[in-house]
Amino acid sequence: MRGPIRVDEALELAKQIAEALEEAHEHGIVHRDLKPANVKVTPDGKVKVLDFGLAKAWSGESHPVSGSGALSQSPTLAHTGTAAGLILGAAAYMSPEQARGKAVDKRADIWAFGVVLFEMLTAERLFDGETVTDVLAAVVTREPDYARLPAALPPAVRQLLQRCLRKDPKRRLRDIGEARVSLDEAAKGGDADVSSVVQAGTHVRPAAAWRRVLPWAVAAFALALAGLGQWRAAQPGPPPMRK
């Protein structure tokens, strides 16, 4: 990758990737090998997710990875075992549960989706290392550095990435369709809810708020003073002094 993809372009590409995964998941299929090498963009800007060679039917239950562990389950690793770069490429997008050889379901695709989107926005590998072991160790133990994301990224997309990249699959985003909706709304500028504004560090200026409130406050204060004057005028005067 030559450099980061523009935020608006990255969001559009990511939305189309999410749509492809959503279609597969709705048919009970988990890709399990999503990575940039398996994502192609046609000349007219359409995204195609390729290489479902590792895809597995999913019935709503998690599927334990059997055999010699997660590495043996990747077509990249199994078919190109002599190409170290490709091996590292496969490992970099594995979910923590895949790296540990544990149960795998559609949430592994959601993790890989988050890794791919992170890489599109930063032009850097989220998890890297000199060997497969180093990469898998990073996947399992290292937390993403969200400070590397572009400052112009909508807060809702930043939150989406954090949900996709939770190491515990029970706390991870559960449906890639939610990612598609979030990306679509962010692309249209519809993510400016109160919580997002606060988290982005963008606050309403106090001066602007006071300009709206001050005229009403002055009027209320004036009425209070007038009422106090009328009350005092209605009070009986002190008794006359006796000589």
Mean pLDDT by 10 residues, the chain (243 residues): 86 96 94 93 92 65 40 40 50 93 91 97 94 94 96 96 97 97 87 37 40 48 55 56 51
For 96, residues 6+ apart whose C-beta sits below 8 A from its C-beta are: 111, 139, 140, 167, 169
CB 59 within 8 A of CB 79: no
CB 232 within 8 A of CB 238: no
For residue 133, which of 80, 94, 190 has the smallest C-alpha distance? Answer: 94
Given 8, 33, 51, 168, the catalytic residue: 33
**pLDDT of res. 187:** 85
The amino acid that residue 99 corresponds to is A
The amino acid that residue 18 corresponds to is A
Q: Is 173 left (phi over 0), alpha (psi -120 to 50) or beta?
A: beta
Rounded CA gap, 39 and 14, in Å? 10
* Half-sphere exposure in the Cβ direction for 72 (13 Å, CA): 7
Rounded CA gap, 132 and 194, in Å? 42
Provide the residue count of the chain. Answer: 243
Coil, strand, or helix at residue 240? coil
Angle made by CA atoms 61, 63, 69, in degrees to the nearest 5: 160
Active site residue 175: no
CB 18 within 8 A of CB 114: no
Match 């030559």 to its residue by tokens. Answer: 2
Give the number of other Cβ atoms within 10 Å of residue 229's Cβ.
10
**Residue 16, both tokens:** 């189309």
Rounded CA gap, 192 and 188, in Å? 11
CB 54 within 8 A of CB 75: yes
**pLDDT of res. 200:** 36
**pLDDT of res. 135:** 93
